[in-house]
Amino acid sequence: MASRAKSRNAPVGHSPFEVAGERLPREKFSDPLVTADGSERAVVGLHKLETLWFATGTLCNLACANCYIESSPTNDALVYISAADVARFLEEIAGQGVREIGFTGGEPFMNPGIIAMIEDALSRGHEVLVLSNAMKPMRRHEAELLRLRESYRGKLTIRVSIDHHTQAVHEAERGPGSWQPMLEGMRWLSTNGFSLAAAGRSLAGETQEQALNAYRLLFDAEGIALDTADPARLVLFPEMDDEADIAEITTECWDILGKSPRDVMCSASRMVVHRKGEPSPRVVACTLLPYDPEFDLGDTVEEARRDVPLNHPHCARFCVLGGASCSA
């Protein structure tokens, strides 16, 4: 954080990379205010806090090869957030018009306090979105989920992540035996009238249209009621190579790309994380960057309302250039 504050306060034209008017080579994504070629870096302000996410913890029943947060049955880098901590943040945002509370993991249903947290958010009038793989951890909570669905009707949505519309690709990433339980979990949600969504991936070789069609055929064949034409119900993320080089985003990019800072997740959301070894949860800019100190914005939502310089490859790859705007 110290280096960020220093750069923020550095007068224009006197960055640490400039000596006697000569620009030294600098690495990409190293200065929050200026890109490697000296352009002004794009910054996103919090336009309106629509969604407050909680990272429930990194533990997961799966260990997917492409998990961006490296969740697994043993990774507890983000510890289970407690229901008391969630309540404290919900208290803080009371009356501020935050529409939605999101829970993401790891697998949220592995957190022992998940039902209490969901219910707390629902009872305060928020919509709730839970990102799950719909496997055994979720199925252990069937009775409580049915009770919540009954009490809060369409206010609780469960979004199931699917790696691909084919079993072979899905299991190549998620492990053998992960396909059928996921479909059974989705079918249970669908049959029992839950508000159901899915997040899938499209591969580099297939068009968005082909992928959408294939997901539609899959859900139809499996008896899963999900409107694949509704982008809020089926979110498709493109396949990304996160090792590949990527351009930095400058203030000029918005016009060039025909995009607005308001299209980016950090203009409308924040995420609360509890990192192992830290005494209490912190608020970070978005669901994609739970560990990077530059994107740690403070102890409270209020503190975290400040601008976010897009100083990470994920900003360019996933949000601005890649078109994906969310995690899991």
51, 71, 195, 202: which one binds ligand SF4 (CB under 6 A): 71
Nearer to ligand SF4, 109 or 219 (CB): 109
CB of 328 to ligand SF4, least distance (A): 5
Note whether 289 binds ligand SF4 by CB under 6 A: yes
Which are the contacts of 188, defined by CB distance < 8 A and separation ≥ 6?
A: 134, 139, 142
- DSSP collapsed to 3 states, 39-85: CEECEECCCCCCEEEEECCCECCCCCCCCCCCCECCCCCECCCCHHH
CB of 326 to ligand SF4, least distance (A): 9
CB of 312 to ligand SF4, least distance (A): 6
Nearer to ligand SF4, 197 or 285 (CB): 285
Closest residue by Cα to residue 38 from 6, 13, 20: 13
Residues 213-272 that bind ligand SF4 (CB under 6 A): 264-266
At 170, list the tokens. 């899905």
Note whether 285 binds ligand SF4 by CB under 6 A: yes
46, 52, 55, 64: which one binds ligand SF4 (CB under 6 A): 64
At 98, list the tokens. 């935050």
Note whether 55 binds ligand SF4 by CB under 6 A: no
CB 201 within 8 A of CB 239: yes
67, 198, 199, 253: which one binds ligand SF4 (CB under 6 A): 67
Nearer to ligand SF4, 197 or 264 (CB): 264
Closest residue by Cα to residue 310 from 274, 257, 273: 257
CB of 135 to ligand SF4, least distance (A): 8
10, 63, 225, 321: which one binds ligand SF4 (CB under 6 A): 63
For 284, the enclosing helix (H) or strand (E) is: strand 282-284
CB of 201 to ligand SF4, least distance (A): 10
Note whether 199 binds ligand SF4 by CB under 6 A: no
Q: Which residue has the tokens 């070789």?
A: 205
Q: What is the DSSP letter of 129?
A: E
Per-residue exposure over 87-122, b if at least 16 CB sit within 10 Å of its own CB, e if not: bebbeebeeeebebbbbbbbbbbbbebbbbbbbbbb
CB 176 within 8 A of CB 214: no
CB of 266 to ligand SF4, least distance (A): 3
Number of residues located near ligand SF4, criterion CB under 6 A = 29
The residues binding ligand SF4 (CB under 6 A) are: 44, 60, 62-64, 67, 71, 105-107, 133, 161, 174, 264-266, 285-286, 288-289, 295, 308, 310, 312, 314-315, 318-319, 328
